[in-house]
Amino acid sequence: MHNPQLNKNGELQHLLTIEGLPKANILHILDTASSFVSIGDREVKKVPLMRGKSVFNLFFENSTRTRTTFEIASKRLSADVINLNIAASSSSKGESLLDTIDNLSAMHADMFVVRHAQSGAPYLIAKHLNDTQQSHVHVVNAGDGRHAHPTQGLLDMYTIRHYKKDFSNLTVAIVGDILHSRVARSDIHALTTLGVPEVRAVGPRTLLPSGLEQMGVRVYTDIHQGLKDVDVIIMLRLQNERMSGALLPSAQEFFKSYGLTPERLALAKPDAIVMHPGPMNRGVEIDSAVADGTHAVILSQVTFGIAVRMAVMSILAGN
């Protein structure tokens, strides 16, 4: 099956998922990102790479944070950014996803940054653009349902590389609601592709999807065993809906069994780093002492996130 992310020259045309992305492509993105990190320290926080290009942020699912970082990334590349909060616009009047895309393409969009509640939505868009001879328009998946959040996966890898240098001897634990997490899936694919020897998923049975072993992950339901001697802890956000879906009894009980406290952090390696895609629920998945402590690199993730997104967009736009 033709990988819809790649054009016929094998170059990245869209970024839809990390799954199936060759290791070389991932490293290229990370290497390029390191050049973008320092731009935020300059007088003129811009490079002219995407000057005159129009980037449309299509957010069918609300997210001020992710949309803002993409907006900053686009603007630092000198692109023009148009934000579309679709819930409030024509979609709610019944316009189909593809009709919305066609209308925006008619306004000469160069790039769509798409967040959607349905897994696979960006694929539908990418396929439609290819089918309608608009393959010069690029799609960046900013999160689709539970499936993927590739830029988050990439910035998480950038963060790990920044602090740990070498992927080949790390143990990484991902903790929390893996079942519903696109961040977890993207992190898993990135970690396994980059050669991390041990990737662990930690959570209650109700929040662990089937088939994790086939993705190269060791499953733990006991946080103490799951965190033992790990180098990197990625805490996932727990959403309120999980309580109403009979998946968990309460946030307190979740914290009791799976919350990252200083005592549990001590089970990991002494120089372990703590990551979180944000926004954090203090006292639910993570203790404030840990969130504000020296092991947490959560704010670095945000900074790196802008650079990684700049790298992704500039690589795509140039292909």
Partner 1 sequence: MTQVYPELDAEALYRALAQQVKAGLAHAENLAIVGIHSGGAWLAERLAAELQLNERLGFIDVSFYRDDYAEKGLRADVKPTQIPFDVEGAAILLVDDVLYTGRTTRAAINELFDYGRPARILLAALIDRGERELPIAADFVATSITMPAGQSLILERAEDGRFSLTVEHA
Partner 2 sequence: MNIHIRNGRLIDPANGIDAQQDLYIVGDRIAGIGQASAGFAADRTIDADGMIVAPGLVDLSARLREPGYEYKATLESEMQAAVQGGVTSLVCPPDTDPVLDEPGLVEMLKHRARSLNQAHVYPLGALTAGLKGQALTEMAELTDAGCIAFSQAEAPIVDTTVLLRAMQYAQTFGFSVWLRPQDPHVGRSGVAHSGPVASRLGLSGVSPMSETLALYTIFELVRATGARVHLCRMSTAAGLELVRAAKKEGLPVTCDVGAHHVHLTEIDIGFFDSNARLTPPLRGQRDRDAIRQALLDGTIDAICSDHTPVDDDEKLLPFGEASAGATGLELLLSLALKWSEEARDQAALPRALAKITSDAARVAGLAAGRLSVGSAADVCVFDPQARWTVAAGALASQGKHTPFLGYELTGQVRTTIVAGHIAYQR
In the list 6, 7, 49, 72, the residue contacting partner 1 (rule: CB under 8 A) is 49
The yes or no reply on residue 111 touching partner 1 (CB under 8 A) is no
Q: Which of 209, 239, 251, 278 binds partner 2 (CB under 8 A)?
A: 209
- For position 246 contacting partner 2 by CB under 8 A, the verdict is no
Contact between 214 and partner 2 by CB under 8 A: the answer reads yes
Asked if 135 is part of the footprint of partner 1 (rule: CB under 8 A), the reply reads: no
**Out of 10, 11, 87, 224, the residue judged to bind partner 1 by CB under 8 A:** 11
Please, is 135 exposed, middle or buried when counting C-beta atoms within 10 Å of its C-beta (0-12, 13-18, 19+)?
middle
Nearest distance from C-beta of residue 222 to partner 1, angstroms: 42
d(CA 261, CA 291): 9
* Calpha distance 50→52 (Å, rounded): 6
Q: Is 44 in the site for partner 1 (CB under 8 A)?
A: yes
Tell me, rounded to whole angstroms, the distance of Cα 19 from its chain centroid: 12
Residue 96 binds partner 2 (CB under 8 A): yes
Q: Count Cα neighbours of 154 within 13 Å in the Cβ-side half-sphere.
A: 36
Binding of residue 303 to partner 1 (CB under 8 A): no
Check residue 120 for interaction with partner 2 (CB under 8 A).
Answer: yes
Rounded Cα distance between 105 and 12, Å, is 20
Contact between 38 and partner 1 (CB under 8 A)? yes
Residues 3-22, one symbol each (x = binds partner 2 by CB under 8 A, - = not), give: xx--------------x---
182 binds, among partner 2, partner 1, none (CB under 5 to 8 A by kind): partner 2
Of 1, 2, 48, 205, which lies in the binding site for partner 1, with binding defined by CB under 8 A? 48
Q: How far is the CB of 211 from partner 2 (least distance, A)?
A: 3
C-alpha separations of 232 from 169, 175, 218, 235, 262 in Å: 11, 11, 15, 10, 15
- Residue burial 290-312, b: 16+ Cβ < 10 Å; e: rest: bbeeebbbbebbebbbbbbbbbb
| Beta-carbon count within 10 A of 150 CB | 32
Binder to partner 1 among 3, 6, 7, 34 (CB under 8 A)?
A: 34
Q: Is the peptide bond before 197 cis (omega within 30 degrees of 0)?
A: no
Which of 111, 140, 148, 290 touches partner 2 (CB under 8 A)?
Answer: 148
When asked if residue 129 is in the footprint of partner 2 (CB under 8 A), the reply is no
The reply to whether 72 sits near partner 2 by the rule CB under 8 A is no
Establish if 97 lies at the interface with partner 2 (CB under 8 A): yes
Contact residues toward partner 2 (CB under 8 A) are 1, 3-4, 19, 96-98, 116, 118-121, 123-124, 127-128, 144-148, 182, 185, 209-212, 214-215
Contact residues toward partner 1 (CB under 8 A) are 11, 28, 31-32, 34-35, 37-38, 42-44, 46-49, 314-315, 318-319
